[in-house]
Chain A
Amino acid sequence: MSEKFDAIVVGAGPAGISCAYDLAKGGANVLLLERGEYPGSKNVMGGVLYRKMMEDVIPEFYKEAPLERPIVEQRFMMMDKESAVTFGYKGMEWGKEPYNNFTVLRAKFDQWFAEKAVEQGAVLINETVVLECIVENGKVVGVRTDRPNGDVYADVVVLADGVNSLLAQSLGFHKEYKPDEVALATMEILKLDKKVIEDRFNLEDNQGCTIELFGDATKGILGTGFLYTNKDTLSIGVGTLLSGLIKHKIRPYDLLEYVKNHPMIRPYIQGSEPQEYLAHLIPEGGYNSMGKIVGDGVIVIGDASQLVNAIHREGSNLAMTSGRLAAETILQAKEAGDFSERMLDEYRLKLLNGFVGQDMKKYKDSTHHFDKFPQYFDQYIPMMNKAASQMFTVDGSSKWEKQKKIWSDIGSTKEKMKIARDFYRAWKVIK
């Protein structure tokens, strides 16, 4: 039997690396396994990294991490076919330390982050796939990799193997996710001159902008699009519930092409060159889709435990926090010499009682609600565009007349009641 570790972390994404980092820092002998050529090579996200949760792991990381741009402006575009109502916030306080959040390219960032964990003493092995957990007497005691002599043992196995988490599924912790519990995001990284980016997005050096796209960006399917500025590239993508793509018979890359050619988006990306194409599933089932996340000798963290807040496009931060809490619990368990489910359950309690659990509970019905009532995206956003167009078009009619017209265009009293009801319902699921 080969060497036994205190912990094995499967998957070097934000969750897995945070966990391995804190475990190694706490003196544990930890093995971090990654199936990609290097950490980040297979990892995908739109590209917003939240400063606070990252700093909980590495204080002042922004002084040395490979980041793209600190985000100083967040815009939201409610899109119709040839128009958009835009609102947003730009603030210079986000442009200086300690910053709010950053755009990042995962292939670079995750690699750096993993190196930091290695510096703390974690042992990182790439290009190695974990096939299954080794279970003895109902307790997870290690993992079986796809390499010859590939069994490795540990007191605790941390599953950070991402959205589908076949490992947690094979332990019976969750069922195979249904198409309305996962979103499929496709994105491209577009090469564009730094100066051109700054001119087009009204930015100065070392300032970034994010634009979230709603409505026609997803052809009315539940989901969002995004356009983020990196140093000398743009990240553009679109993510929709898998069930929506199936129902509307739209191929994900066709949807991305549609967004890229949308008259509200095209001018931003004109002349850019596609550099990379990426696609990934995002767990969006929320709190109700979360399976079992703790067992004897095993803990599930990050995407693998469905930790995504779809409404606020947060995920990597929840992942990091879950990784950190898992490490904290494992170090306590090590102290006590007890790796039973009862001992490790401390992780679940901390997670659910903290902001992660609070947010997951707050939005637990949101995905389901917006999926069930598609009118928010395919009716109300176009309606909003039409109203704005009427209000701001100067055609000689009085503003009073315009308001009356907008009001009557919304529909009959019955339809107005329905809209009011919808808005009340939407308020209820996100309040």
Chain B
Amino acid sequence: MLHIVACIKQVPDTKIIKMNPKTNTMDRRTAPAILNPYDAHAVEEAVRIRERYGGTVSVLTMGPPPAVKAIKKCIEIGADEGYLITDRRFAGADTLATSYALTKAIDKISKIKPVDLIICGKMSIDGDTGQVGPGIARRLDIPPLTSVNKVVEIQQEKGYCVVHRKLEDGHEVIQSSMPCLLSVEKTINEVPYSPFPNMLKAARYEPHIWSVDDLEDVDIKQLGLKGSPTIVSKVWAPPKPEGGTMLEGSPQEQVEQLLSIILERKELFSVKEES
């Protein structure tokens, strides 16, 4: 039976978040914490694979205790088990330290039940790096398959899977040995409205919560801020777009104004003739 681990993250909703104009950092209090949208697709894909081939879906996250809420969301989507690693010593981690901590947790999960497949979202919407997935694969020494937008087949007994990767100019059909790690695009699936029994399970579910001391062979120096070589030298908000003209008046008048502007500047829209 397959054991799939989906790695997820609780993030501030960047659609709502406000920037602190003085420090140019995100004011996290202004936005609700949500499940990273890419990760919802990762969990959904894991659930779909389980429905096709049978098995277990575990979700794993690192974060402060309220991240339990993100795990519950994954149970709603259909995950079977949830693991939260939480400890002050994890705090301030960059992608290197995060992938190290998650790898240690996956090692421990593997001891409960060997892991066949790891699925991550393509990236988080607050960091936008997409590095943690490949970081985990490197540390586990398994193939990372990024930008996956279709899982064609899983052959657990033969030890391989076939997936589609989205490339800039098309897509790649690729066969990989298993275990391997997939990081998935949002286009891979649609997350449906969760069925009621899942909601009920999630409402009552209490995830496994581990601290650093619950993990094995951990090098404390590689955790948290200490284990994070990334230095953020400067953060700035992109300049607000300036200029532009507001059209006013009735819809009829606005359409007329818009048409005349388009006609005036038609060169912007015409194809340049080759000389």
Q: Within the complex, what minimum Cβ distance (angstroms) separates B166 from chain A?
A: 30
Closest to A123 in B: B203
Taking a contact as CB atoms under 8 Å apart, the answer to whether B194 and A147 are in contact is: yes
Cβ of B196 within 8 Å of any chain A Cβ, yes or no, is: yes
Q: Within the complex, what minimum Cβ distance (angstroms) separates B220 from chain A?
A: 34
Contacting A at CB under 8 A, from B170-227, are 192-197, 199-200, 203-204
User: Which chain A residues border B197 with CB–CB below 8 Å?
Assistant: 2, 149
Query: Contact check: which of B195, B203, B204 meets A147 at CB < 8 Å?
Result: B195
| A313 CA to B249 CA, complexed, in Å | 42
Taking a contact as CB atoms under 8 Å apart, the answer to whether B196 and A148 are in contact is: yes
Q: Within the complex, what minimum Cβ distance (angstroms) separates A346 from chain B?
A: 30
Taking a contact as CB atoms under 8 Å apart, the answer to whether A150 and B203 are in contact is: no
User: Which chain B residues border A146 with CB–CB below 8 Å?
Assistant: 193
User: Which chain B residues border A147 with CB–CB below 8 Å?
Assistant: 193-196, 199
Q: Within the complex, what minimum Cβ distance (angstroms) separates B57 from chain A?
A: 18
| A231 CA to B197 CA, complexed, in Å | 40
Contacting B at CB under 8 A, from A76-124, are 123-124
Closest to A3 in B: B200
User: How many pairs of A and B residues are in contact by the CB < 8 Å rule?
Assistant: 35
User: Which chain A residues border B199 with CB–CB below 8 Å?
Assistant: 125, 128, 147
User: Which chain A residues border B193 with CB–CB below 8 Å?
Assistant: 146-148
Taking a contact as CB atoms under 8 Å apart, the answer to whether A2 and B196 are in contact is: yes
User: Which chain A residues border B204 with CB–CB below 8 Å?
Assistant: 123
Taking a contact as CB atoms under 8 Å apart, the answer to whether B200 and A150 are in contact is: no
What 0/1 readout, one digit per residue, does chain B (4-16) give for beta carbons within 8 Å of chain A? Answer: 0000000000000
Closest to A37 in B: B32
What 0/1 readout, one digit per residue, does chain A (1-34) give for beta carbons within 8 Å of chain B? Answer: 0110000000000000000000000000001000
Closest to B192 in A: A148
Taking a contact as CB atoms under 8 Å apart, the answer to whether B195 and A125 are in contact is: no
Which DSSP category, helix, strand, loop or mixed, fits chain B's interface? helix
User: Which chain B residues border A125 with CB–CB below 8 Å?
Assistant: 196, 199-200, 203
Cβ of A134 within 8 Å of any chain B Cβ, yes or no, is: no
| A2 CA to B197 CA, complexed, in Å | 8
Taking a contact as CB atoms under 8 Å apart, the answer to whether B203 and A149 are in contact is: no
User: Which chain B residues border A2 with CB–CB below 8 Å?
Assistant: 196-197, 200
| A3 CA to B194 CA, complexed, in Å | 17
Report the count of interface residues on B (CB-CB < 8 A).
Answer: 10
| A392 CA to B138 CA, complexed, in Å | 85
User: Which chain A residues border B194 with CB–CB below 8 Å?
Assistant: 147-148
Closest to B204 in A: A123
Taking a contact as CB atoms under 8 Å apart, the answer to whether A145 and B203 are in contact is: no
Cβ of A152 within 8 Å of any chain B Cβ, yes or no, is: yes
User: Which chain A residues border B195 with CB–CB below 8 Å?
Assistant: 147-150
Taking a contact as CB atoms under 8 Å apart, the answer to whether A123 and B196 are in contact is: no
| A151 CA to B195 CA, complexed, in Å | 10
| A125 CA to B198 CA, complexed, in Å | 10
User: Which chain A residues border B203 with CB–CB below 8 Å?
Assistant: 123-125
Closest to B195 in A: A148
Q: Within the complex, what minimum Cβ distance (angstroms) separates A189 from chain B?
A: 15
| A123 CA to B116 CA, complexed, in Å | 34
User: Which chain B residues border A124 with CB–CB below 8 Å?
Assistant: 203
User: Which chain A residues border B196 with CB–CB below 8 Å?
Assistant: 2, 125, 128, 145, 147-152
| A147 CA to B201 CA, complexed, in Å | 14
| A151 CA to B196 CA, complexed, in Å | 8
Most chain B Cβ neighbours within 10 Å, of A124, A128, A147: A147
| A147 CA to B203 CA, complexed, in Å | 15
Q: Within the complex, what minimum Cβ distance (angstroms) separates B137 from chain A?
A: 34
Closest to B32 in A: A37
Q: Within the complex, what minimum Cβ distance (angstroms) separates B85 from chain A?
A: 24
Most chain A Cβ neighbours within 10 Å, of B193, B195, B196, B200: B196
| A381 CA to B266 CA, complexed, in Å | 63
| A128 CA to B196 CA, complexed, in Å | 9
What 0/1 readout, one digit per residue, does chain A (149-165) give for beta carbons within 8 Å of chain B? Answer: 11110000000000000
What 0/1 readout, one digit per residue, does chain B (102-144) give for beta carbons within 8 Å of chain A? Answer: 0000000000000000000000000000000000000000000
Closest to A151 in B: B196
Closest to A148 in B: B195
Q: Within the complex, what minimum Cβ distance (angstroms) separates A130 from chain B?
A: 11
Q: Within the complex, what minimum Cβ distance (angstroms) separates A121 from chain B?
A: 10
| A213 CA to B73 CA, complexed, in Å | 44
**Residues of B near any A CB (own CB < 8 A):** 192-197, 199-200, 203-204
Please give me the 7 A-B residue pairs with the lowest Cβ-Cβ distance, nearest first: A148-B195, A147-B196, A150-B196, A149-B195, A125-B199, A123-B203, A149-B196
8 contacts between A and B (CB under 8 A): A2-B197, A123-B203, A123-B204, A125-B200, A146-B193, A147-B195, A149-B195, A152-B196
Given contacts A145-B196, A147-B193, A147-B195, 14 further A-B contacts (CB under 8 A): A2-B200, A123-B200, A124-B203, A125-B196, A125-B199, A125-B203, A128-B199, A146-B193, A148-B192, A148-B193, A148-B194, A151-B196, A152-B196, A152-B200
